[in-house]
């Protein structure tokens, strides 16, 4: 009851505060248009924002450990989040500054008009690519290496069950979590990247082919794609994975290869749609007619004439498709039918480490490990989406 009462008091304070804020603004600035035309909702928004900011500052400086000796996990997580956000913003700012002075004239120009979110995205993509390529050199241990101690806590503090040799602890069978996270970049991101490339190869070439040849081939391909798209993709992927898991045993081929093929085929339907639509606009151009009259073959038409002119929309789509494929693979692995052990993979790690979350209230560092793996997935997709969002915004020339 008292909770409800406090809520009512806060609400009333907000409502009155907004009114007072607007009136005070009008009086103090001798009724400038900004305050004169301010709607009540807008004033409420300012007061609400200021209130939230105040609360955030107050909460940030709460003690880390309660009087009872129990760590105040909420405050600790909040501090991490705020610090992470500030570090990310500063890093993105510095990276953009760097891009404005280093590089070719074209890239400098690009960086000059870039929002912070996009430069953050590019920075994160670079870091992921670096970690993925040099995983073997960066990671302190092997991805499947089983070390002496299992279930070592994260944080590296021996008093809390940690071990400085394993900064993020070890998992249930004693593999170093930090190394597995690093190798996860190689496996999860690498496999997703290969899958997306494959899906673009299949979808793109079939789409352009349908656009160039038209007729019955176009009809056949388009109608089959319609049918495949009528089944939700994750559900279809799960159905095909069930079947593939039987085939994998029968043929002795790793299930991961089947997964790459299945997701590539399912995803290529979306690429096909776009490639065909873009291709249809290109094949009516005069230069295509000229190339046809020159007697160029189909391969030349598709790869030398249509593809270069369809590159811009396909690139933006590549980013979105990559995110989608990446999330699908992560979801499949999380459900236990995706990337198979002993390969380290973020989706599988989240599922395996999830029970640690139950210790959040007493040992905040322990709860972090499953979230780190899930966060690694989220961070990359967020970064790619930021970049794609900016690219689309730039190419559409939207100002609002």
Residues engaged in binding other proteins (CB under 8 A): 39, 41-42, 45, 49, 73-74, 77, 117, 226-228, 230-236, 238-243, 245-247, 250, 323, 327, 330-331, 334-337, 347, 350, 354, 357-358, 360-361, 367, 370-371, 374-375, 377-378, 381-382, 384-386, 389, 400
Tell me whether residue 72 or residue 143 sits nearer to other proteins (CB atom): 72
Give how far the C-alpha of residue 181 lies from the chain's centroid of Cα atoms, to the nearest Å.
Answer: 16
- Closest approach of Cβ 308 to other proteins, in Å? 29
Residue nearer to other proteins on the CB measure, 42 or 165 = 42
Instruction: State in angstroms the smallest separation of the CB of 224 from other proteins.
Output: 9
Phi and psi dihedrals of 316, rounded to 5? -60, -40
- Using the minimum distance from each CB to other proteins, give the nearer residue, 204 or 370: 370
Q: Which is nearer to other proteins, 74 or 136 (CB)?
A: 74
- Coil, strand or helix at 64: coil
Distances in Å between the Cα of 321 and the Cα atoms of 180, 234, 347 are 25, 14, 18
Which residue, 232 or 299, is less far from other proteins as judged by CB?
Answer: 232
- List all residues 6 or more positions away from 120 whose beta carbon is below 8 Å from its beta carbon: 88, 89, 91, 92, 95, 383, 386
Q: Taken in order 355, 361, 364, 368, is the CA torsion positive or negative? A: positive
Report, in Å, the least distance between residue 176 CB and other proteins: 22
Give min distance, CB of 280 to other proteins, in A: 21
Shortest Cβ distance from residue 49 to other proteins (Å)? 7
Please say which residue, 265 or 282, places its beta carbon nearer to other proteins: 265
CB of 144 to other proteins, least distance (A): 22
Cβ at position 336, least distance to other proteins in Å: 6
CB atoms within 10 A of CB 196: 24
Question: By three-state DSSP, how is residue 238 classified?
Answer: helix
What are the counts of helices (DSSP H) followed by strands (DSSP E) for the chain?
Answer: 18, 0
Indicate the residue among 117 and 309 with the shorter CB distance to other proteins: 117
Contact 187, 345 (CB under 8 A): yes
Q: Calculate the CA 351 to chain-centre distance.
A: 18
φ/ψ region of 214 (left if φ > 0, alpha if ψ in -120 to 50, else beta) reads: left
Q: DSSP state, 159?
A: G
């Amino acid at each position: 009851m008292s909770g409800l009462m406090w809520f009512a008091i806060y609400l009333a304070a907000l409502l009155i505060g907004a009114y007072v804020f607007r009136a005070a603004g009008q009086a103090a600035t001798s009724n400038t248009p900004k305050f004169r035309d301010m709607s009540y909702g807008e004033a409420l928004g300012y007061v609400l924002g200021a209130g939230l900011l105040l609360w955030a500052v107050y909460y940030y400086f709460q003690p880390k450990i309660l009087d009872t000796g129990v760590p105040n996990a909420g405050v600790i997580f909040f501090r991490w989040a705020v610090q992470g956000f500030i570090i990310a913003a500063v890093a993105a700012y510095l990276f953009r500054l760097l891009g404005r002075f280093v590089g070719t004239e074209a890239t400098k120009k690009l960086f000059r008009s870039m929002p912070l979110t996009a430069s953050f995205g590019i920075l994160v993509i670079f870091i992921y690519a670096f970690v993925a390529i040099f995983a073997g050199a960066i990671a302190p241990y092997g991805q499947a290496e089983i070390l002496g101690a299992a279930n070592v806590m994260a944080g590296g503090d021996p008093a809390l069950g940690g071990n400085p040799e394993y900064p993020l602890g070890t998992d249930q069978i004693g593999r170093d979590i930090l190394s597995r996270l690093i190798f996860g970049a190689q496996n999860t991101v690498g496999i997703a990247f290969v899958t997306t490339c494959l899906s673009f190869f299949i979808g793109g070439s079939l789409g352009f082919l349908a656009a160039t040849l038209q007729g019955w081939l176009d009809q056949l391909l388009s109608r089959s794609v319609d049918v495949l798209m009528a089944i939700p993709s994750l559900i279809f992927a799960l159905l095909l994975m069930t079947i593939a898991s039987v085939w994998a045993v029968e043929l002795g081929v790793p299930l991961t290869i089947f997964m790459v093929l299945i997701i590539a085929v399912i995803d290529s339907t979306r690429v096909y749609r776009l490639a065909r639509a873009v291709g249809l606009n290109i094949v009516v151009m005069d230069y295509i007619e000229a190339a046809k009259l020159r007697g160029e073959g189909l391969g030349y038409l598709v790869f030398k004439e249509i593809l270069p002119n369809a590159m811009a929309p396909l690139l933006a789509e590549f980013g979105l498709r990559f995110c989608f494929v990446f999330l699908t693979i992560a979801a499949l692995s999380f459900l236990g039918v995706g990337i198979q052990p002993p390969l380290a993979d973020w989706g599988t790690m989240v599922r395996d480490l999830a029970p640690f979350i139950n210790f959040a209230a007493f040992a905040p560092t322990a709860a972090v490990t499953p979230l780190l793996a899930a966060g690694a997935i989220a961070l990359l997709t967020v970064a790619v989406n930021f970049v794609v969002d900016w690219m689309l915004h730039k190419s559409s020339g939207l100002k609002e």
